[in-house]
């Protein structure tokens, strides 16, 4: 798959995600292609259907230049806003090693000594390349999406993403290097309802990396997301497919909530937003990521 280079008109966009003021997406599309990705609508502007998510990438080749210009025009008081990098793509997917757009954007934020929070969300170890910049920015933090400790499950659902075990190592590397980290445990996979010991294990592994705070989301199985999920589930046994049907229900979410709370206490983990978020009203922005109810991705 060859990325398509484009000239973007704007880069830093106002966000509807609670707790996030601005989102920056250096790319449109995400080659990691997770089956559950909520951002699969993002290629609409290029005529890309949801089912093609993961098979295209548009590279905003002027992203760094736009960041410089837009930051220069941003009044001082607006620079206190929280920036999410990124909301509908992974800012460190493999092509970032070639294009270095995310690095360039962080450099521009550093050049203006951006005083607000810069929240990076990714599934990729490429983020460690930018530890120098992340440590220079006064309020940068990195979230790594980890939905399982089982690399087989990770490869099944997070089709081309770095394996879960690699992400756990990346969190530890970032933490050891002094970068504030958190984990995004989302979507909360349906099998935790019948195998809570697996979530217990996941929390334990996160704590070992240095993570003290998690952001969690219930799985979002809206129709456009099911379009891709159903293809992944088609060859699975009946009980697995049934679990993903049950996962759309309030009962299922309440069952998981009851499992999550004591496990968080057991591991001394803080839950961001004090709840496992459910994107009932998801309207845009990111997929595997963020915020009640408008959320992510990575």
Query: Are 135 and 110 spatial neighbours (Cβ–Cβ below 8 Å)?
Result: no
Minimum CB–partner distance for residue 203 and ligand SF4 (Å): 21
Binding to ligand SF4, residues 152-171 (CB under 6 A)? 161
Of the candidate residues 11, 17, 34, 189, the single one contacting ligand SF4 (CB under 6 A): 34
Q: Is 253 in the site for ligand SF4 (CB under 6 A)?
A: no
Q: Which stretch binds ligand SF4 (CB under 6 A): 28-36, 148-156, 186-194, 226-234?
A: 28-36
Residues contacting ligand SF4: total by CB under 6 A: 14
Nearer to ligand SF4, 32 or 188 (CB): 32
Tell me the closest approach of the beta carbon of residue 148 to ligand SF4, in angstroms: 14
108 versus 285: smaller Cβ distance to ligand SF4: 285
- Which are the contacts of 73, defined by CB distance < 8 A and separation ≥ 6? none
Nearer to ligand SF4, 50 or 179 (CB): 50
CA–CA distances in Å: residue 50 to residues 46, 226, 287, 298: 11, 10, 13, 17
**Toward ligand SF4, which CB reaches closer, 116 or 296?**
296
Within 222-249, residue ranges assigned H as helices are 223-233, 238-246
Report the distance separating Cα 298 and Cα 288, nearest Å. Answer: 6
Distance in angstroms (rounded) separating the CA atoms of residues 43 and 298? 16
Cβ atoms of residues 26 and 102 within 8 Å: yes
Q: Which stretch binds ligand SF4 (CB under 6 A): 31-39, 72-80, 109-117, 185-193?
A: 31-39
Question: In the β-sheet with 4-6, what is the strand arrangement from edge to edge?
Answer: 4-6, 58-60, 27-28
Which residues in this chain contact ligand SF4 in the complex, by CB under 6 A?
30, 32-34, 37, 39, 89-90, 123, 161, 287-288, 297-298
């Amino acid at each position: 798959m060859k990325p398509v280079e484009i000239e973007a008109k704007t880069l830093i966009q106002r966000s509807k995600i609670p707790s996030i003021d601005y989102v920056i997406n250096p790319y449109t599309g995400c080659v990691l292609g997770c089956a559950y990705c909520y951002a699969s609508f993002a290629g609409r502007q290029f005529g890309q259907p949801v089912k093609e998510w993961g098979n295209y990438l548009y590279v905003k080749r002027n992203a760094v230049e736009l960041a410089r210009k837009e930051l220069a025009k941003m009044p001082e008081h607006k620079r206190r806003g929280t920036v999410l990098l990124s909301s509908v793509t992974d800012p460190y997917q493999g092509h970032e090693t070639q294009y270095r757009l995310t690095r360039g954007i962080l450099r521009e934020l550093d050049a203006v000594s951006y005083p607000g929070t810069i929240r990076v969300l990714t599934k990729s170890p490429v983020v460690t390349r930018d530890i120098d910049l992340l440590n220079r920015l006064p309020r940068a933090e990195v979230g790594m999406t980890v939905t399982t400790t089982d690399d087989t499950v990770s490869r099944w659902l997070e089709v081309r993403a770095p394996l879960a075990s690699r992400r756990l190592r990346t969190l530890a590397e970032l933490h050891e290097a002094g970068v504030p980290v958190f984990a995004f445990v989302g979507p909360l996979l349906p099998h935790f309802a019948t195998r809570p010991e697996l979530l217990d294990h996941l929390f334990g592994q996160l704590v070992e990396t240095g993570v003290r705070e998690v952001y969690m989301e219930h799985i979002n199985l809206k129709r456009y997301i099911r379009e891709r999920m159903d293809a992944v589930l088609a060859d699975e046994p009946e009980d697995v497919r049934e679990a993903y049907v049950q996962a759309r229900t309030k009962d299922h979410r309440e069952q998981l909530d009851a499992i999550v709370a004591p496990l968080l206490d057991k591991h001394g983990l803080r839950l961001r937003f004090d709840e496992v978020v459910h994107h009932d009203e998801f309207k845009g922005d990111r997929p595997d990521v963020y915020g009640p109810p408008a959320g992510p991705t990575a």
